Structure 1
Amino acid sequence: MTYIPGISQSYTAADQAAAPKEKGKTLGQNDFLTLLVAQMQNQDPLNPTDATEWTSQLAQYSQLEQSMNLNTTMDQLVEGQKSSERLSALSLIGKQAVVEGSTFQLDDGSVEIGYRVDGEASDIQLHIEDGNGRRVSTLFPSDLSAGNHYLTWQGLDQSGAHLPAGEYTIVAEAQSSIEGGTVGVSPLVRTDVTGVDLGESGALLLTDVGEVALSDIYGVYDKKQGPTEPAEGSSPPPPVNGTNVVEEISAAMDGAGII
């Protein structure tokens, strides 16, 4: 009789070379069980396999089965997460998203803008430039703490005159509250979500400022619904932002009756 010394050594080099390539280089669950049964049927009766060896191989089989079941469960969770992300992304079409960006549109005389501060600042200035790069206004936010903050620009120039509708740009500057230190500041703008790209790498929102991932969204609003009170320098509670942005955005929109 032919003796198979162990499952891990069951395939010879010739067997592996003759095996179809589509089966891969690793043993599947059925292969493992087939080899185990074959070993039992073909063991040398004068020199049977030690019981400890059987126990070890059965333990290997159990571990393999658990590992494969875990992989299947993880694959299902990943697919479920992707489906949830796609549904969340599709529900945002026609809404406005808050993202990092410098360009925004002034339409009806006022617009909500924001800024993200990486640390404590002693001074922050938001310079507004028109389409020609000319500085038309400068805002001095009152909230200098780390985080996301929002305010409403009334669309006025330095002299208090109303500016025409059009495209404008935010240039943000900040000084650290620590002497000799630096602090980062990034402008936040609201942009229309016009579509969704459901690619292999995940859902991307198509907006006026380009493609944006769900994880890069700081808030979602209905058009004309603002996150702030119409007062210069005001800072409301920060919008949705966190490690699991899909769940937080969905919860926020559901609570507000947006979806």
Structure 2
Amino acid sequence: MAVENDVSTSFINSLQNPTVTTTNSGEALGKDAFLQLLVTQMKNQNPLDPQDNTQFVAQLAQFSSLESMQNLTSTVDSIATSYKSSQALQASSLVGRSVIVETGTAQVDTSKGLTGSVVIPASTTATTVKVYDSTGTQVDTIDLGSQSAGNASFTWDGLSSEGVALASGTYKFVASGTVNGTNTAFSTYLPATVNSVTTAVSGGEMTLNLAGGSSIALSKVQSIGI
């Protein structure tokens, strides 16, 4: 029978290629459409040559697998939605907080001063942190002396090397020291205030927008304060 052959062929092809099967309107067939095809195939099979039981069971197994994949997709979509909601909540709680990040510049309230740290990869002598204002003028030098490998903390009181109180604003901190007779630059970790947070559109990492105009990925934050 022509009807039987057309329906059977269409159904088998649909089950063998569920991800590319489409209707005449161009929309992908769902599990309900596959079930309708199965019922139609059973109604139109040749009574003198009914479908083999093994083939029928195989089609049912493929239908079950298709339904499981669709349910899995729905579950993953639900988890992704929950993750985005959690990320947005986390983002809102970070705005206005102080974080410690790897950077060379910081917004400093000179009436309170600043505390940061220097990453020292190996034992060093003559370790210093030079402070520059927004015009690039060196205003102070913090002497840390000899240091062993690790993190060395430092504090700047907001005063120039002459003891003059400086205006609050953006300052640059450049750390260096002598390692095995060679002057070496070191990384600094400084506090910064989170002004806003950019959440990823497609599951990427959240970005913190800091006071002073810089941005940093959340994974790069050393610690989060009040």
Q: Structure 2 length as normaliser, TM-score?
A: 0.72
2:192 is aligned with what amino acid? T
- Separation in 1 of the partners of 2:22 and 2:219? 46
Q: CA deviation at 1:129?
A: 2.1
**Residue 106 of structure 2, aligned match among 104, 115, 124:** 104
Contact 1:98 1:217 in 2 (8 A): yes
Residues 18, 50 of structure 1: CA spacing in aligned structure 2 closer, same or farther, 3 A cutoff? closer
- Separation in 2 of the partners of 1:19 and 1:102? 61
2:188 is aligned with what amino acid? P
Structure 2 residue aligned with 1:168: 171
In structure 2, list runs of 5 or more residues that go unmatched. Answer: 16-20
Structure 1 residue aligned with 2:64: 62
Residues 34, 134 of structure 1: CA spacing in aligned structure 2 closer, same or farther, 3 A cutoff? same
Q: Which one has a bigger Cα radius of gyration?
A: 2
Residues 63, 157 of structure 1: CA spacing in aligned structure 2 closer, same or farther, 3 A cutoff? same
- Separation in 2 of the partners of 1:176 and 1:72? 57
Verify: 1:137 aligned to 2:141, yes or no: yes
Q: CA deviation at 1:71?
A: 1.2
2:35 is aligned with what amino acid? L
| Cα RMSD (Å) | 3.5
Structure 2 residue aligned with 1:121: 122
- Separation in 2 of the partners of 1:7 and 1:150? 71
- Separation in 1 of the partners of 2:185 and 2:224? 24
Q: CA deviation at 1:156?
A: 5.2
Secondary structure at the aligned position of 1:84 is classed as helix
Structure 1 residue aligned with 2:90: 88
**Residue 9 of structure 2, aligned match among 5, 9, 15:** 5
Structure 2 residue aligned with 1:220: 224
Percent identity (aligned): 31
2:24 is aligned with what amino acid? A
In structure 1, list runs of 5 or more residues that go unmatched. Answer: 223-259
Q: CA deviation at 1:17?
A: 8.5
Secondary structure at the aligned position of 2:172 is classed as strand
Comparing both structures, which one devotes a greater share of its residues to strand? 2
Verify: 1:19 aligned to 2:20, yes or no: no
Q: Structure 1 length as normaliser, TM-score?
A: 0.64
Q: Structure 1, residues 12-37: CA drift from partner, whole Å, max 9, x if none?
A: xxxx887113x14xx32222222222
Q: CA deviation at 1:200?
A: 2.7
Contact 1:109 1:165 in 2 (8 A): no
1:195 is aligned with what amino acid? S
- Separation in 2 of the partners of 1:104 and 1:198? 23
Structure 1 residue aligned with 2:189: 188
Structure 2 residue aligned with 1:210: 214
User: 1:65-80, aligned counterparts within 5 Å?
Assistant: 65-80=67-82
Q: Structure 1, residues 64-99: CA drift from partner, whole Å, max 9, x if none?
A: 111111111111111111111111111122221222
